[in-house]
Structure 1
Amino acid sequence: MVTFMAVTLGLVLLLIACLEAGRRLRMRHTADEASSGLGVIDGAIFGLLGLLLAFAFSGADSRYEARRQLIVTETNAIGTAWLRIDLLPAEAQPAIRQDMRSYVDARIAFYRDLNDNPARARQDAAATTALQTKIWGESTAAARQSPLASTLPLVAQSLNDMIDITTTRSVALNTHPPLAIYILLLVLAVAASLVAGYGMGDRRRRSWLHTLVYAAALTMTIYTILDLEFPRIGLVRIDRYDKVLVDQRGSMN
């Protein structure tokens, strides 16, 4: 959170500095030199910046929605696996249910510790993997003792879905655009600020209103894109949707 705020402040100052640099450069030129054929270039730079911002925002928003949906999918998978324990022999159910509770606790702890305590999050991930193996072994062994032939496929399928979604969420957690996209976005933002300041240089007095509004609007847009890409760090939070998993854990007592 602090890092995001520092980056935001730094970007605002950088854009304001670029606007001022462009303005001073314009003031050194004559009116004819400054305005000759530059409109096309300005339009191309701002068009590229707008296009990149639109694609970056759209992609970040779609990934945010996908991550949020995966929380619901995992919760549903755990709920189904929990209910299908009822199909297993009664004597095997208590141990499996206790392991399921520990498993959900580990999943909740992993996302809680992910940013605050990465070392602890790795331990939570290891505990999750160990419990997956244990629950799978206990459940399939108990299902084979059931007199119903359908018990094993039903239990195995629900556990398979519960386990597979952890891999899907792990991949989604680390799915972001290449670093080159962010570098290009920063370069275009700087270039656009320079040409915007250059266009403002025909006035001797600075227009602080235009300067601040431009820098703030561009910075807030870029910040929102980054916030959507990393929704467990900034102001846009996805961890509040973890409540459905917490509620599922509460129903398992």
Structure 2
Amino acid sequence: MLELGRRLGIRRLASDPAGAQAGTGAVEGAVFALVGLLIAFTFSGAASRFDARRDLIVAETNAVGTAWLRLDLLPADQPAIRDSFLRYVDARLAVYRKLPDLEAAHAELAKATGLQATIWAQAIAAGQSQGASPDAIKLLLPALNEMFDITTTRTMATQAHPPFVIYGMLIALALASALLAGFGMAGSKSRSWLHILGFAGVMAVAVYLIIDLEFPRLGLIRVDTFDQALVELRASMP
């Protein structure tokens, strides 16, 4: 687009040397300002969603840890619910390890959802068993409920993105600004490769970083390191 703009500018200069650049500054300024505003808007939104996803990983780890500790309130011999609990944590970890294989990730998510019902039923049965403290179920069920709810929150957070028309507009404006920049460089006798490559590189990197932040399990910027908190919790469960 820079090259196309330059050629259009050269053609315009050849046909109207005096008025070729008249009034173009206002148009270029408006387009570049709009590009900068859209980049700032999309980058800020992507960064805030990236931070929110990391916070949700920590929140789920805390919820799982609390629920696991409260299993101690049940009668001592409860291997079934503990086994289901461990398989549930393994399934939750596998959901995000399997990405970007969406089919495998959805299968693990369905497995974890099925285990939620199993754990809930086992917790109620254990809380009503002989020798169980009447307060045990009152403390355990809210912890399990929070642990289950955070999975829905995390799933929805991974699907929370701006409408793709915004990315289409961002790319279209980036190309339009390149066209106008090339038109403005038409007055020089030779191409300024520093400006051409610099402009194209900066715009491409900016758009890439925005998209990378928006999908933090597919690119270079990732939230995988925060999964380690849940991995370490799983390792601490006997």
Distance (Å, rounded) in 2 between the aligned partners of 1:133 and 1:109: 19
| Distance in 2 of aligned mates of 1:20 and 1:114 | 39
Amino acid paired to 1:136:
W
- Aligned match of 1:136: 120
Alignment deviations for residues 104-136 of structure 1 (CA, whole Å, 9 cap, x no partner): 100111111121x33222221121011110001
Contact preservation (8 Å) 1:140, 1:155: no
Task: Give how far 1:144 is off.
Answer: 2.8
What residue is the counterpart of 1:27 in the other structure? Answer: 10
* C-alpha contact (below 8 Å) 1:19/1:196 kept by paired residues: yes
Alignment TM-score, normalising by the size of structure 2: 0.95
Q: Residues of 1 paired with 2:164 and 2:196: CA distance?
A: 28
Identity of aligned residues (%): 51
Shift >3 Å, 4+ stretches: 145-149
Question: For the residues of structure 2 that align with 1:33 and 1:22, how far apart are their CA atoms?
Answer: 17
| 1:127 paired residue among 99, 111, 128 | 111
- 1:189 aligned residue: 174
The DSSP-based 3-state class of the residue aligned with 1:33 is: coil
Find the counterpart in structure 2 of residue 247 from structure 1.
232
Q: What residue number does 2:87 align with? A: 102
Partner of 1:219: 204
Cα displacement string for residues 54-112 of structure 1 (whole angstroms, at most 9, x for unaligned residues): 00000000000000110000000000000000001112x22211111111100111111
Match of residue 11 from structure 1? none
What is residue 14 of structure 1 aligned with on the other side? none
Matches within 5 A, 1:33-48: 33-48=19-34
Query: Gapped runs of 5+ residues in structure 2?
Result: none
Q: Deviations over 1:15-72 (max 9, x none)?
A: xxx0000011111123322211111111000000000000000000000000011000
Kindly state the Cα deviation for residue 147 of structure 1 after the two structures are TM-superposed. Answer: 5.0
Distance in 2 of aligned mates of 1:252 and 1:162: 16
TM-score (norm 1): 0.90
Give 1:127's aligned amino acid.
Answer: K
Mapped partners of 1:75, 1:100: distance in 2 = 13
**2:161 counterpart SS class:** coil
* C-alpha separation in 2, matches of 1:105 and 1:38: 60
Task: State the alpha-carbon separation in 2 of the partners of residues 132 and 29 from structure 1.
Answer: 68
